[in-house]
């Protein structure tokens, strides 16, 4: 089965290897790329008691000086990948969520892990990759969530009313993580470490990348990529490549961003984690 991978690097190459291990033929066509934004170490808040991360990219693009300034704080990661990234970056105390930002917010709200490691100010990452990036950059305490920013925010909010949380994130994001924390009285110091920009290809470039053969399935990891891919499938000169493909989305929100005018059946992972998405693809149901 020919599977289209549209996520940006370095995630695209990692997904390609996993697909090959599972017996699929991966087709790389990144529709977006992440670029570092200028951020100084002074972006850290003096009264911060924790760090939250909902994307491994946020840690990967954060300057080392900023990570060093925050490394002693507890780090709350949205999921396993984000938590791993946070630990790899240098965070010492990292807690990981279930991959959902909303649940991560709830967990932080309860303040359980944060209270226990308050002196170290843990870093909360939205998922495994984000946590890994945070650790690699220098965070000392990183926790990773399930990959969903809303749940991560809810988890943090309860125990932090009146306190500040440094939120490492990208310029393109949903308000699902920040809103519940602010509603609970938590000061959210948002630090945008990267931006996500769209990549464009001509019809000829796309046909060449796909070896002029139709795609059997595609994986959707973000709402931005879903919208971009929809635009490609609507091109008259490319419709024959995508007309019979199956669509697999990381979450309901991502699936909703794909305008399903053609009536394709969109399958959604049981949780917003890549392993769950690949499991769904492998089962083929």
Domain boundaries, position 232: 2-31+201-283
The pLDDT value given to residue 122: 62
pLDDT for residue 38 is more than 60: yes
* Same domain for 190 and 62: yes
pLDDT over threshold 90, residue 206: yes
Domain boundary among 197, 229, 260: 197
Whether residue 187 is predicted with pLDDT greater than 70 in this model: the reply is yes
State whether 56 and 159 are in the same domain. Answer: yes
Last residue of a domain, one of 197, 217, 244: 197
Residue 119 has pLDDT above 50, yes or no: no
Q: What is the pLDDT of residue 180?
A: 81
Higher pLDDT, 129 or 170: 170
Residue 140 pLDDT class (50, 70, 90 cuts)? low
* 193 lies in the same domain as 70: yes
- Please report which confidence band the pLDDT of residue 182 belongs to, taking 50, 70 and 90 as the band edges: confident
Residues 231 and 186 in one domain: no
- The pLDDT tens digits of the residues spanning 211-256 come to 999 999 999 988 888 888 888 888 999 989 998 889 999 988 888 8
Residues 40 and 164 reside in one and the same domain: yes
Say if residue 285's pLDDT is above 70: no
Highest mean pLDDT among 145-149, 174-178, 204-208: 204-208
- Total number of domains in the chain: 2
Q: What's the chain's average pLDDT?
A: 82
Percent of the chain clearing pLDDT 70 (strictly above): 81
Q: Are residues 154 and 234 in the same domain?
A: no
Q: Are residues 125 and 12 in the same domain?
A: no
Give the CATH number, domain containing residue 26: 3.40.50.10090
Shared-domain flag, residues 152 and 269: no
24 lies in the same domain as 79: no
- Tell me the mean pLDDT in the region 195-201: 91
Q: Are residues 137 and 225 in the same domain?
A: no
Q: What is the pLDDT of residue 117?
A: 41
Check residue 128 and give its pLDDT: 73
Which of 166, 197, 228 marks a domain boundary? 197
Residue-wise pLDDT for 22-36, tens only, equals 999 999 999 999 999
Q: Determine the pLDDT at residue 139.
A: 60
Interaxial angle between packed helices 101-110 and 149-157, expressed in degrees from 0 to 180 and rounded to the nearest 10: 10
Give residue-wise pLDDT tens across range 42-94.
777 777 888 999 889 999 999 999 999 899 898 999 888 899 999 999 998 99
Task: Tell whether 27 and 52 lie within a shared domain.
Answer: no
Give yes or no: residues 22 and 48 share one domain.
no
Query: Which range, 96-100, 121-125, 154-158, 269-273, has the best average confidence (pLDDT)?
Result: 269-273
């Amino acid at each position: 089965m020919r599977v289209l991978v549209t996520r940006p690097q370095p995630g695209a190459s990692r997904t390609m290897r996993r697909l090959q291990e599972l017996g699929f033929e991966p087709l790389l066509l990144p529709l977006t790329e992440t670029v570092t934004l200028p951020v100084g170490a002074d972006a850290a808040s003096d009264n911060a008691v924790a760090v939250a991360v909902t994307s491994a990219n946020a840690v990967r693009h954060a300057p080392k000086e900023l990570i060093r300034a925050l490394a002693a704080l507890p780090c709350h990661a949205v999921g396993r990948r984000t938590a791993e990234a946070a630990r790899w970056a240098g965070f010492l105390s990292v807690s990981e969520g279930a991959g959902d930002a909303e649940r991560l917010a709830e967990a932080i709200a309860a303040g359980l892990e944060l209270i226990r490691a308050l002196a170290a100010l843990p870093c909360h990452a939205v998922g495994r990759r984000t946590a890994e990036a945070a650790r690699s950059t220098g965070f000392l305490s990183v926790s990773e969530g399930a990959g969903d920013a809303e749940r991560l925010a809810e988890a943090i909010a309860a125990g932090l009313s009146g306190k500040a949380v440094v939120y490492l994130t990208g310029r393109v994001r949903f308000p699902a993580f920040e809103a519940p924390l602010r509603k609970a009285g938590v000061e959210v110091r948002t630090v945008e470490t990267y931006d996500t920009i769209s990549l464009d290809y001509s019809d000829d470039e796309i046909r060449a990348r796909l070896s002029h053969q139709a795609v059997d399935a595609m994986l959707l990891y973000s709402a931005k990529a879903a919208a971009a891919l929809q635009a490609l499938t609507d091109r008259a000169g490319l419709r024959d490549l995508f007309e019979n493909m199956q669509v697999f989305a990381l979450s309901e929100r991502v699936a909703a961003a794909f305008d399903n005018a053609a009536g394709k059946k969109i399958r959604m992972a049981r949780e917003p984690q890549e392993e769950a998405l690949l499991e769904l693809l492998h089962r083929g149901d």
